[in-house]
Amino acid sequence: MAQVLEFKLPDLGEGLTEAEIVRWLVEVGDVVAVDQPVVEVETAKAMVEVPCPYGGVVTARFGEEGTELPVGAPLITVAVGEPASGGSTDAPDGPVTEGTRDTPAAADGKGSGNVLVGYGTSEAPARRRRVRPDRPAPAPVSAPAVPAAPAVASANGGVRTAEAVDGPVAVISPLVRRLARENGIDLRELTGSGPDGLILRADVEYALRAAAAQGRTATATPEPHPRVAPGTAVIAPAPVPAPATAGTRIPLKGVRGAVADKLSRSRREIPDATCWVDADATELMRARAAMNAAGGPKISLLALLARICTAALARFPELNSTVDQEAREVVRLDHVHLGFAAQTDRGLVVPVVRDAHARDTEGLGAEFARLTEAARTGTLTPADLTGGTFTLNNYGVFGVDGSTPIINHPEAAMLGVGRIIPKPWVHEGELAVRQVVQLSLTFDHRVCDGGTAGGFLRHVADCVEQPAVLLRTL
């Protein structure tokens, strides 16, 4: 007799609370093995293939491609056990939720070894949990209505509706709470459209759109005409143009939405400033050509610039910091996790090279190549895109000279590199044509003053102009 196990969307880590179904990898009726990927989802960080910790026959899928599901929503159900004749399975009355019963993988003490946060079958559960009744597939998000009953605060700081005081917390996502708080939305006035009344980001966004529409309607409501004396000239008010409704609307979600949220937060919280300098990169280009002519792995310009960055950060550690606003403290970091901006078909992403300060130029180049290829193919993991402490932005690949980029929150600085082109330059007292690049540094003015930022940028420029300077910092 088979058991029907329900597999839910797991916690994918890094504080992510929802994911969009991009592509199903299995059909209903397919036989799946333990840890076989069953669906490809897109989070705000990356594309992820989600493996199923159960082996058996897929009996149901929940959600169409393009549907956004919250963490904990059901993905598929799998019939586990010996199939009956004709290939069908003898299932119990309702599905067993993940972790409710001992799975075949857990029965012998062996598990899938899967590492996604929030689920796994590496060991048998300590006790059986309560079997919950079967739930229907997630319905499309509907317009949240104002509940008739008041809401009460739960013990852990969440909000529950009055009818569901003994039920689950109505909002669990810190991102949803922050979005509501920043826009003045009272979560107690919303009814969630998620499972068990869970308030989703879509519910808060709907409330924001509804409030905006109500404000426009109130503005457009004509006021009663005042009474005027006979013979008095009446000047008609100028017509108010109707709000534009034409055009294409593109949802800010997935990678684009995550970028929008992070950049908006950076502009709100960080008092940034930018300084820049032109540098003669002729000697750096000659040094790179000589290194590549000597054989071995090719050294990229980005790897050389990254090595210069880590050396400069060792001399000016103030720029490898973050600000703890609640504690009102600057946290100076011990390790340099170097992010670099990469433009892909899915938008701008910033992969992170871990422990860049401990890598040589060749090691940095190899890691840049690996992460760039993963960005191009859409296989970057959430861990590849988070935890950066300083960002290197080579916008020169777009054919531009300079920029004032927005700092990648919660970092404190970003070095920008423009295109390297021949320009007239005074070299050794004579006018010559040299390879010139513009370097810019955008920094958080809370972590340092202009003297420190200028010193960092000048040291970078000196290393670009005279690569031998770098040898003194090794």
Q: Which two tokens stand for residue 435?
A: 């390879």
Q: CB-based burial of residue 217 (10 Å sphere; 0-12 exposed, 13-18 middle, 19+ buried)?
A: exposed
Provide CB contacts within 8 A for 435, sequence distance 6+.
Answer: 280, 281, 282, 285, 420, 421, 422, 423
- CB of 323 within 8 A of CB of 446? yes
Query: Mind giving me the DSSP string for 123-152?
Result: S--SSPPPPPPP-PPPPPP------SS-EE
Q: In Å, what is the CA distance from 456 to each residue of 131, 311, 315, 450?
A: 60, 10, 8, 10
Host H or E run for residue 416? strand 413-417
Taking a C-beta distance cutoff of 8 angstroms, is the pair 54, 131 a contact? no
**Catalytic annotation on 449?**
yes
Identify whether 445 is a catalytic site residue.
Answer: yes
CB-based burial of residue 3 (10 Å sphere; 0-12 exposed, 13-18 middle, 19+ buried)?
A: buried
| CA proximity to 342, closest of 365, 370, 372, 368 | 372
Q: Which of 335, 449, 459, 462 is catalytic?
A: 449
Identified catalytic residue from 334, 409, 445, 459: 445
Strand, coil or helix: what is 99?
coil
Question: For 183-253, where are the alpha helices, taking DSSP H only?
Answer: 201-220
Nearest Cα to 291, choosing from 69, 61, 470, 436? 470
Tally of CA atoms within 13 A in the half-sphere of 464 that contains its CB: 26
Helix locations, 323-396, DSSP H: 361-377
CB contact at 8 A, 353 and 367? yes
In the numeric block, the tokens 């992010």 are attached to 339
Instruction: In whole angstroms, give the CA distance from residue 5 to residue 56.
Output: 9
Name which of 46, 47, 38 is nearest 9 in CA terms.
Answer: 38
Q: Which residue has the tokens 């963490």?
A: 71
By CB atoms closer than 10 A (0-12, 13-18, 19+), residue 310 is buried
Beta bridge partners of 168: none
Placement of tokens 């000016």 in the chain: 316
188: DSSP letter: G
Positive or negative torsion for Cα 121, 122, 124, 129: negative
Point out the residues that are catalytic.
445, 449
